[in-house]
Chain A
Amino acid sequence: MTTILRIVLIIVCFLTCYYALYKIRKSQMQIEDAIFWILFSITLVIISIVPHIAYFLANLLGIGSPVNFVFLAVIFIMIFKVFSISIKMSQLEYRIKNLVQQIAIKNHELESKNKKEESK
């Protein structure tokens, strides 16, 4: 790994952390969601500071260059994240449907109650 790549990685990680924390300060992001990004950045910073980890793991997997290992790892983590977001989104859609239906039923109950009282 070249020094310049390591420096770029560290800077980008700090920016990511800063942005996540900024969103939390403005109450626009939940802590649960920020933790992933902060852990992710910390891991990349550690690899940039101690590139031997990347060398070791690249060697272990038979990947020629440690940079390629870093890219592969990032891609894997991103695919995993997209997958989990996709699952979360389906669940959210299901929950919204559920809520809308419940509200409709509650409204119907309320209205029929009101009508009964009026006709009395």
Chain B
Amino acid sequence: MKVLIIIPAYNEQENIKNVVNNLINNFSEFDYIVVNDGSKDDTGLICKKNNYNLLDLPINLGLAGGIQAGFKYAYEKEYDYAIQFDGDGQHQPQYIEKMIKQMKESNADIIIGSRFVTSKKARSLRMLGSNLISFIIRITTGKKIMDPTSGMRLFNRNMIKKFAYTMNYGPEPDTISYLVRCGAKIEEVQVQMKEREAGESYLNLKRSIQYMLHMCMSIIFIQCFRKKEKLV
């Protein structure tokens, strides 16, 4: 059983070293790949100097494109599981094993590392967005997903192939809602996340509004009309 941790990194020169060193020193049972998504800072240089396993994208493709590069690598190197793992130190690797265990037991296609299975959501603007997406996924698919925007997701080989080679399979809540409708088995496992350690978040106000508009439009108006694909 081979597990690959895909770490997309865009301008993460302050964080990437901590994140990857932690994986190498304490979680060497998992393989990892850093996808440097055309960073403007020294992220790529730091990775090369430290001899990290690196996919260095020459131009910036955006989060979805970067992760897709990781999925292609995972598929070609014949990994059984791939996990999406942020390069900013938010995600904690000690939960990976729990997620894999859950995936094996329940035979799920995707496991979401969720902040809100057993703990409650805090009240903030960001959580309002998360709630709204949860709500529209629930009314369009009937499935309750507590933390659809969580960036920590585990995929099985079948999903790796889909995400790597099909158009409109961005690793975002709208694709999750589509996959639910296709009959994929999606489960959540409680994890804890930290605040980002340093550097700037990608989501500012303008981007957040754009993101919400995109997700709502996509889930309500577009995903419902997509052809249901046979999984497996």
Contacts and interface: CB of A to CB of B under 8 A. Distances in A.
Interface of A: 21, 24-25, 27-28, 30-32, 34-35, 38-39, 95, 98-99, 102
Interface in B148-167: 166-167
Contacts of B168: 24, 27, 30-31
Contacts of B214: 31-32, 35
A87 to B, nearest CB: 16
A32 B168 CA distance: 9
A102 B226 contact: no
Contacts of A27: 166-168
A38 B226 CA distance: 14
Nearest to A102: B58
Contact of B225 (A24, A28, A35, A102): A24
A24 B167 CA distance: 9
Interface of B: 58-59, 166-168, 170, 174, 213-214, 217-218, 221-222, 225-227
B225 A38 contact: no
A38 B59 CA distance: 30
23 contacts: A21-B222, A21-B226, A24-B225, A25-B227, A27-B166, A28-B167, A30-B167, A31-B168, A31-B170, A31-B218, A31-B222, A34-B222, A35-B213, A35-B217, A35-B218, A35-B222, A38-B217, A38-B221, A38-B222, A39-B217, A98-B58, A99-B58, A99-B59
A6 B168 CA distance: 33
B225 A25 contact: yes
A102 B44 CA distance: 15
Given A24-B222, A24-B225, A25-B225, A98 B59 contact: yes
Given A21-B222, A30-B168, A35-B213, 11 more contacts: A24-B222, A27-B167, A31-B170, A31-B174, A32-B214, A34-B222, A35-B217, A35-B218, A35-B222, A38-B222, A99-B58
